[in-house]
């Protein structure tokens, strides 16, 4: 489901020439945000301050 949403978003805002690159970068960002290490950093007290 996330990939479908990401692909539609990419098509909506990217030009036809770079849509595949944009989609690939969006998928990379998505995979980074779900990593446990990243979640721990975001939820840490250092970030909240």
Q: What is the DSSP string of 4-43?
A: HHHHHHHHHHS-GGGHHHHHHHHHHHHHHHTSHHHHHHHT
pLDDT of residue 17: 63
Domain housing 40: 2-48
Mean pLDDT confidence for 22-48:
78
Could you tell me the two tokens for 26? 């969006």
pLDDT of residue 30: 81
Would you say how long the chain is, in residues?
A: 49
User: Looking at the predicted structure, is the pLDDT value of residue 40 above 80?
Assistant: yes
Domain count along the chain: 1
């Amino acid at each position: 489901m996330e990939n479908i949403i990401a692909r539609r978003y990419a098509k909506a805002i990217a030009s036809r020439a770079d849509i595949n690159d944009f989609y690939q970068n969006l998928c990379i960002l998505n995979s980074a945000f779900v990593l446990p290490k990243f979640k721990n950093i975001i939820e840490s007290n250092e970030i909240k301050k």
